[in-house]
Structure 1
């Protein structure tokens, strides 16, 4: 039996050598990013985790590990503030999603590219406009002595900017643009053929949205809700400048605990509250990620 020797294809040899070549260059390029993430996020997270389970004895100064801080963070005023933040964030995120989706759809279906670019650019600016300037703008406009409040007599009609619903409306100012930016790429992924196929089978526009578009967009919508919830949940400066401590919010409780406005030596309770916020955000993300992977297969 004789062996048959054939000349190897140079292209196959080159491809095989490329596959065997170690990809060390890619890892080296990522090292600066990994170092930044470790320093900027990893170290503070470890410090928060350590402090949340640490108690210092005021007499001896000795520290010990315990769950007392975590227990205190879910009791009394701290629990009320935590639930208040969850409620405010959920309501604001839901309203922003409901209002932002049709606005994003109008932008996607617009025949004027200039209008689309203008709306998306404005959304990018407004989504990052918050804090004290936003609070001042609403106080000057809709506060007790605001321009529109006096012009239309809103106080006599029961309007109160410094309430739960007043703060929710203020949050919508930056949450709706954020929703537009988040959901627009998903709306772009809806294929024209799907709408045409639904129309050819006798489906109305409402039926197309209920049975085709919304099921495909559901994971992306949920992802937008998660992002909006997180943005509202972590907001501090706007609420602090507008309502102070009149509305219980966990971010305001953390600030009070750190500064000692309520009780001295509650810094570690503030770290426990921060850990509670991280755990809530992690639970929300755990629901979102599996659905996000499912949506990516349809919109790819």
Structure 2
């Protein structure tokens, strides 16, 4: 009786994956991006830094001479008051928009109606980018001294005025709240249903779930959204300039006055020093925002 020879064991052949090599052609695709960044951000930033530490061309004694007077003056007197006012306005509006935008976004995420979610997110995308002169005109026509709502409710009799710090805060919330809804919605979508079910199985109430589970996870995203809103409010200019003018001191308005010579002649480089201060604030904002986004992505991924 003969037995069939057993086949020799075959070793599995593994296909070698081709190694991706970044050749010259691959790096060429990034050249337009770096070129745009260098022209759009690099050169203006270098010009601002150089101008902030040199004298203006229309100043006495000529321009181009090294000086610290511009930077020193930008953190003193009315300019420092404008900087502090801008920081207060940005922090207050960002905080209010974060507190108001979170429950709105949560209602949208938990809604069973898909059309409601799409409508709110679409409207938020439009309103978050609605600013400048059209927004100022809309509020002046509505809540100004001769606005329709002001006359209808007799708000002036109660001391209401749109052209104040409070009025500007309300106007800023018009585009900051939708921006917060857009920012926090992906983070709310990342909250897993299993976490809520596990909390309820352990007899945790809704308040306890949000206090001990949801909010600690959302905290990096909330702080990141707050920082993003702060930067957006801090950089806004056209709406405040068209609506309140010089009534509310803002650093963006101070830059415009220095460039146009409304305060002193020959202070063009002082505007560059004020711009440098805004860049420093923006860099600090981004330095806080990016690590918070990375931390929230670890939990919600």
Q: Does the TM-score normalized on the shorter chain lie above 0.5?
A: yes
Give 2:146's aligned residue.
145
2:180 paired with 1:179: yes
1:7 CA displacement: 8.6
- Does the 8 Å contact 2:227/2:288 carry over to 1? no
- Counterpart position of 2:216: 215
Change (3 A) 1:67 1:59: closer
Per-residue displacement from partner, 1:258-277 (whole Å, max 9, x unpaired)?
Answer: 00001011111111111111
Question: Residues 199-248 of structure 1, C-alpha deviation per residue, up to 9 Å, x if partnerless?
Answer: 11111111111111111111111111111111110111111111100110
Alpha-carbon distance in structure 1 between the residues aligned to 2:245 and 2:93? 19
Per-residue CA deviation, residues 28-80 of structure 1 (Å, 9 max, x unaligned), is 22211111111111111111111111114744424212221111100000000
CA contact (8 A) 2:136 2:242 kept: yes
Mapped partners of 2:217, 2:297: distance in 1: 9
Partner Cα separation in structure 1 for residue 60 and residue 150 of structure 2: 54
- Within a 5 Å distance, the mapping from 1:4-43 to structure 2 comes to 9=13, 11-12=15-16, 15=17, 17-19=18-20, 21-43=21-43
Paired position in structure 1 for 2:3: none
1:184-263 map, 5 Å:
184-263=185-264
Q: 2:266 aligns to what? A: 265
CA distance in 1, matches of 2:93, 2:74: 24
SS of the equivalent of 2:29 reads helix
CA distance, structure 1, for counterparts of residue 26 and residue 209 of structure 2: 44
Structure 2's unaligned 5+ residue stretches are: 1-9
Aligned to 1:122: 123
2:124 touches 2:178 (CA, 8 Å); kept in 1? Answer: yes
In the superposition, the TM-score normalised over structure 2's length comes to 0.93
Give the Cα–Cα distance (whole angstroms) in 1 for the partners of residues 110 and 23 of structure 2.
43
The answer to whether the 8 A contact 2:53-2:70 is kept is yes
C-alpha deviations, 1:145-178, integer Å up to 9, x for none? Answer: 1111111110111211111011000001100000
Question: Following the alignment from structure 1 to structure 2, what is the Cα–Cα distance between the partners of residues 88 and 237?
Answer: 15
CA distance in 2, matches of 1:96, 1:210: 20
| Distance across 1 between alignment mates of 2:80 and 2:180 | 29
**Which residue of 1 is the match for residue 71 of structure 2?**
70
**CA distance in structure 1 between the partners assigned to 2:260 and 2:119 by the alignment:** 42
Q: Counterparts of 1:23 and 1:192 in 2: how far apart (Å)?
A: 45
2:159 counterpart of 1:158: yes
* Partner of residue 51, structure 1: 51
Q: Distance in 2 between matches of 1:59 and 1:167?
A: 38
| Structure 2 CA distance for partners of 1:132 and 1:121, relative to 1, 3 Å | same
CA distance in 2, matches of 1:107, 1:113: 9
258-267 or 24-33: which moved more? 24-33
Corresponding position of 1:294 = 295
Q: Return the alpha-carbon distance in structure 2 between the equivalents of residues 290 and 48 of structure 1.
A: 27
Aligned pair count?
Answer: 291
Partner of 1:95: 96
